[in-house]
Amino acid sequence: MSDPLISVIIVAYNRREFIREAVKSIVNQTLPKDEYELIVVKNFEDAYVDDVVKNMKGKSLFADLISYGAKVTLAIEKAEGDVICFLDDDDMYSSWRLEVIRDKFKHNPSLIYYHNNVLVVDELGKSILDNSIEKTNINEEVFASTAEEKLASFIRYGWNLGLRSSSIAVKRGFISKWLNIVRLNLVNFDVLIFMLALLDKGSILHDPRRLTYYRISSANTSIARSEREPFTRFHKAIRYSFKHALDRHGLVTIASHLGLRRYVKYDESCVIGGIYGNWSRWLSKVVIDLMTCRSMTCLGSAVLGAIYYLNPWLAKRMVYLYYTRLSEIWGLRS
């Protein structure tokens, strides 16, 4: 079987801090340059990035779109690769990641979804330990091909097999069928693609090797705990919760139509988004959903949502205090 051509998609929106390092990690791949292409989607100009893309005969797309899914869809429609890889503008690949991906898809014709573990780095690119992310690294290979096997892997590992876009690679033929759904996604692109891979025909593979450098910094829009300033941390958490809640509702809706509703539930971010969005009727669905979970996080989130119906001001105040004063004591989730 011939080697598959790989398309690497980098998406950036207003963030310039680390995109050059992301691009350099693609330039420095051990895979021959004629076996992959680079596509960058951004809403600003950067001389270095633009020159690299031009020299690699890649594609530089300008898109002033907020939705992550819309930007990715634009790139996928322009991609020529048989395999599509994603890279957030503040993350990086190990030098041999694309070579691994080429071999995995080459030797597994049924493979439609690939996922690998991450190594966490700080703003300077220095390796650090982040316990919350470390817990999501699955340190064994997971391969599933039938619908039963994929469902069993999901029940066992949950969303951990679908976290972080920079750890994902997919078959173009697979993702192209779902672009009308992908383009509507705001922030939860990674878990959406994972769920679609569970539903579609084809195999999924998790590689326990740490082939992606996942950066935690103040520029990360989804990780509030990286912010030291309390009020900035609070506002970032609320903004993300709004987008997350809308995306999660979409996931739940898709799961309901496809028979996976019992496995796909709302989460604590949906409660926060519902409280600060004053989505009273919708929030009741979230509370009921979380009451059926078994974890203390689910139960606590459900109680917080219930408090909103008794005293909206108190519920908002509790969220505010958590993100500004209590997060360092209890451990901030994001």
Q: What is the pLDDT of residues 107-140, one digit of tens each?
A: 999 999 999 999 999 888 899 998 889 999 999 9
Supply 234's token pair.
């609070």
164: left (phi over 0), alpha (psi -120 to 50) or beta: left
Q: Return the CATH number of the domain spanning residue range 6-215.
A: 3.90.550.10
Q: What is the pTM of this model?
A: 0.85
pLDDT, average across residues 1-29: 88
Q: Map tokens 């459900």 to a residue.
A: 302
Which two tokens mark 199? Answer: 């539903």
| pLDDT of 229 | 76
Q: What is the mean pLDDT of residues 87-103?
A: 96
Between CA 187 and CA 122 the distance in angstroms is 21
CATH 3.90.550.10, the chain: domain bounds: 6-215
Render pLDDT for 268-285 as a digit per residue (tens, 0 to 9): 889 999 999 999 888 999
Decide the pairing of beta strands 111-121 and 36-42.
unpaired
Q: Mean pLDDT over residues 36-46, rounded?
A: 93
Can you tell me the distance from the alpha carbon of 244 to that of 185, in angstroms, rounded to the nearest whole number? Answer: 10
- Local confidence band at 3 (pLDDT 50, 70, 90 cut-offs): low
Cα separation, 142 vs 158, whole angstroms: 12
**CA quadruple 333, 239, 17, 326: dihedral sign:** negative
At residue 334, does pLDDT exceed 50? no
State whether residue 258 is helix, strand or coil: coil
Whether the Cβ atoms of residue 206 and residue 148 lie closer than 8 Å to each other: no
Tokens of 272: 């926060």
Q: With pLDDT > 70 as the criterion, what percentage of the chain qualifies? A: 93
Residues 114, 104: contact at Cβ < 8 Å?
A: yes
Does residue 330 register a pLDDT over 60? Answer: no
User: Looking at residue 59, what is its pLDDT?
Assistant: 94
Q: What is the mean pLDDT of residues 10-15?
A: 88
Report the percentage of the chain scoring pLDDT > 90: 62
pLDDT tens for each residue of 205-257? 999 999 999 998 766 655 665 666 777 888 888 888 888 888 888 888 888 87
Q: Label residues 40-49 b or e (16+ Cβ within 10 Å = b).
A: bbbeeebeeb
Q: Decide: helix, strand or coil at residue 101.
A: helix
pLDDT at position 226: 62
The whole-number pLDDT of residue 326 equals: 67
- pLDDT digits 0-9 by tens, 148-171: 999 999 989 988 999 999 999 999
Out of 26-30, 56-60, 229-233, 262-266, pick the least confident.
229-233
pLDDT at residue 329 greater than cutoff 60:
no
For 71-83, write each residue's pLDDT tens digit: 999 999 999 999 9
- Going by pLDDT thresholds of 50, 70 and 90, the confidence category of residue 14 is confident
Task: Work out the mean pLDDT of the chain and round it to a whole number.
Answer: 89
Give yes or no for residue 292 having a pLDDT over 50. Answer: yes
